[in-house]
Amino acid sequence: MTTPPRATAPAPGAPGTQAAPARRLRWLLRLHRPALCVWTVLVVVLAALLLWLGGPLTDASAAAWNQYDACPTTGACGYDQEAILLYKDVSLYTSLTVLTLPFLVAMWAGASLIGRELESGTARLAWTQGVSPTRWLTAKLALPAALVTVGTALAALLNRLAWTAGLGRVDTAKPWYSIETFYASGPVVVAVALAGLAAGTLLGLLLRRSLAALVGSVCATAALWAGIFMALPHLWPTVTRVSSLREGPSGSGIGVAEGLLTADGDRLGIPRYCGSSIDPSCGALFDRLDAVSFYRDYHPASHYWPLQFVASGILLAVAVLLTVLTFRVLRHRTADHRGGLA
């Protein structure tokens, strides 16, 4: 009786061994195809609304404001009030939607991308099927990071173009330094989204529970927004504008500090209810304080891009740091490149 030949394992460099990990990685990506489709639909719908806002809706609102400005002092004339109100509402809600994108990214990363797979054991199964933990995490993050970058950047760009279209034409258009305009129309929101993706991934890996990771990701993203909101005015040197006591503090932009200047150059706070010396009682109080003028430290419109780039750089550094920390935690929590958690 002859012994049947044994099945030999393919050589390490054989095509079959190279194709198997690629198939498994594609399988990992297919697990989150619904979320990627939802993100694509969300970005497309938001982009369509912003194009409408910056085009026909801005034109209609600008025409309505022209009609309103042409009215006599009595206001007894007709103008399209609905176009003005619709522009105001759509502008506000689209900007707020752009600002919430980082929250959605972080929630998905913590709850679904990582937390649910560790909780259900899907990640452990993948690691036992020839996909190393490092490659598994790289595959999980690569495509989402690219889609988050492209989608958020597109939304921010269209939001800025829509705001620019109404600048000087629509009286209710927000100023450049408003929260909705500044933070939803530049690279800062893209950097926050990437930092939120990294934070959600790390929390999903640490907590290994989808609900806990979701809550933690929301808190982490809120902390990122709060931190950059408080730090941003101090990331670039300010401009100081001095104005008369009768004029009051002046200078349009992101305010940092304001107060009174004495004859000796000392800075004092502004007394309550005394914004100028027009009020005789305030003028007498200024005399007693030896105040000679008002000052205001602020960021003018020319500081828009320096502030955006510096803040974005800091947030991207945070995202890189969180990503590096995530991979280090993953290596410490896996027994080897094949097995599950240590």
Same domain, 230 and 281: no
Token pair 């500090």: residue? 257
Question: Does residue 283 fall inside a structural domain?
Answer: yes
Same domain, 208 and 328: yes
Same domain, 141 and 263: no
Q: Decide: pTM greater than 0.75.
A: yes
Same domain, 84 and 171: yes
Same domain, 133 and 279: no
pLDDT at site 229: 95
Q: What is the pLDDT of residues 276-306, one digit of tens each?
A: 888 889 889 999 999 999 999 999 999 999 9
Same domain, 100 and 216: yes
Question: Does residue 287 fall inside a structural domain?
Answer: yes
Q: What is the pLDDT of residues 52-111, one digit of tens each?
A: 999 999 999 999 888 888 787 655 677 888 999 999 999 999 999 999 999 999 998 888
> For all residues of the chain together, what is the average pLDDT?
85
Same domain, 100 and 246: no
Q: What is the pLDDT of residues 211-256, one digit of tens each?
A: 888 999 999 999 999 999 999 999 999 999 999 998 888 888 999 9
Split into its structural domains, the chain has a count of 2
Residue span of the structural domain in which 266 resides: 239-301
Sign of CA dihedral 122, 125, 131, 133: positive
Same domain, 95 and 133: yes
Q: What is the pLDDT of residues 307-337, one digit of tens each?
A: 999 999 999 999 999 999 999 998 887 754 4
